[in-house]
Amino acid sequence: MDINSILHIIAENTLRTGLPLPAPRDIAYHWAKPLNLPRSGSMFLYTGVMYQLMPYIKSFVAILERFEDSRLAKALRLAASPKLTGLARAAIKPERDEIELAESILTSIARLLARAGINYAYLYEDDMYTGVILYDMGLEEAFQEHAARVYERLRRRGAKKLITVDPHTTYMLRHVYPKYVDGFDIEVVNYLELLDEALAGRAQPAPRLWSGERVVVHDPCLYARALKLVKQPRRLLEHAGLTVLEPRRSGRMTYCCGGPIEALSPRLAGRIASTRLRELREKAPVIVTMCPICFVSFSRVAKNETIVDISIILSKTLRQDEEA
């Protein structure tokens, strides 16, 4: 499929709706409705909508995978662009259980933060996608326009500090926004960093849900190489009572999940994901991810492995701790 057409869909959709793919706008904050999180404060939880987009990305990639290298793809390339966007809107059908899973990850994160004694507010309708794919794909003007809108919303809400939950959003807000958005001076902290700090010096919960069960961790590239967030997730998992195993390539030398190009070449992305998954599987059948893109990428090719987001594992431990 012609990459230019896909980039057009993404840029057009982001500027028109704030999201890179056709999806209901309330997907950003639907998960938080039952939690009644405070709306005002100076430190806000900012999800960047990446986890919420997982089911939509998966559905979009499944469509592209069917069309990749097909005659239909060639025909689509010739179609008028607005038709392409409309086609994507009609064709993307996320699975209900995948939406629920994404929401449960965010609920777990919210509960973990509260349990660690961290006071924060939530942005609700101002929790926006950062535009990371526009930035990565070189859609510079569209990214600048979108980033300015995001910052304006944050400024109006009086945000001084943001808690992020995934590597892409953390990287964009911490390292890219200050270069692109005039006056951007919001402090950015990742929830794993916050939890790790809060846990320092605390005794291990007893009784523990886990007693040395073995899991293997997959480091997302941006956490490991750009944000130096490697030790924190391991400490959190070990504190919960799990035995953390390292794949052949881990930490700074981690191996990409293939996800960043799954919208451009699902086939190439799938081959890379399978290679990495095999490497992880050699260590343990339970694979811990910390990034929504990695999660989608491995889920697409997983057979008998269990792919689990770190927040779900940590939150299970929390429930056990609360019940004790």
Contact positions toward another protein, by CB under 8 A?
1-4, 7, 69, 77, 135-141, 221, 225-226, 252-256, 258, 260-261, 264-265, 267-268, 271-272, 275-276
* 203 Cβ neighbours under 8 A, 6+ residues apart: none
**Residue 314 near residue 194, CB atoms below 8 Å:** no
Please identify, using beta-carbon distances, which residue of 39 and 231 lies nearer to another protein: 231
AA identity, residue 42: S
Please identify, using beta-carbon distances, which residue of 27 and 256 lies nearer to another protein: 256
Listed residue (85, 176, 178) closest to 132, CA to CA: 176
Residue found by looking up tokens 């924060």 in the block: 120
Please identify, using beta-carbon distances, which residue of 144 and 320 lies nearer to another protein: 144
Listed residue (125, 114, 129) closest to 157, CA to CA: 125
CB of 139 to another protein, least distance (A): 6
Please identify, using beta-carbon distances, which residue of 229 and 272 lies nearer to another protein: 272
Helix (H) / strand (E) element for 245: namely strand 243-245
CB of 49 to another protein, least distance (A): 20
CB of 268 to another protein, least distance (A): 5
Helix (H) / strand (E) element for 233: namely helix 231-239
Please, what's the b/e burial string for 25-63 (b: 16 or more CB within 10 A of its CB; e: otherwise)? Answer: eebbbbbbeeeebeeebebbbbbbbbbbbbbbbbbbbeb
Listed residue (58, 50, 59) closest to 90, CA to CA: 59
Please identify, using beta-carbon distances, which residue of 76 and 87 lies nearer to another protein: 76
Please identify, using beta-carbon distances, which residue of 4 and 40 lies nearer to another protein: 4
Residue 44, SS3 per DSSP? strand
CB of 119 to another protein, least distance (A): 35
Please identify, using beta-carbon distances, which residue of 19 and 221 lies nearer to another protein: 221
CB of 151 to another protein, least distance (A): 21
* 7 Cβ neighbours under 8 A, 6+ residues apart: 137, 139
CB of 3 to another protein, least distance (A): 4
What span, in angstroms and rounded, lies between the C-alpha atoms of 191 and 162? 10
CB of 225 to another protein, least distance (A): 5
CB of 222 to another protein, least distance (A): 8
Please identify, using beta-carbon distances, which residue of 111 and 225 lies nearer to another protein: 225
**Residue 272 near residue 258, CB atoms below 8 Å:** yes
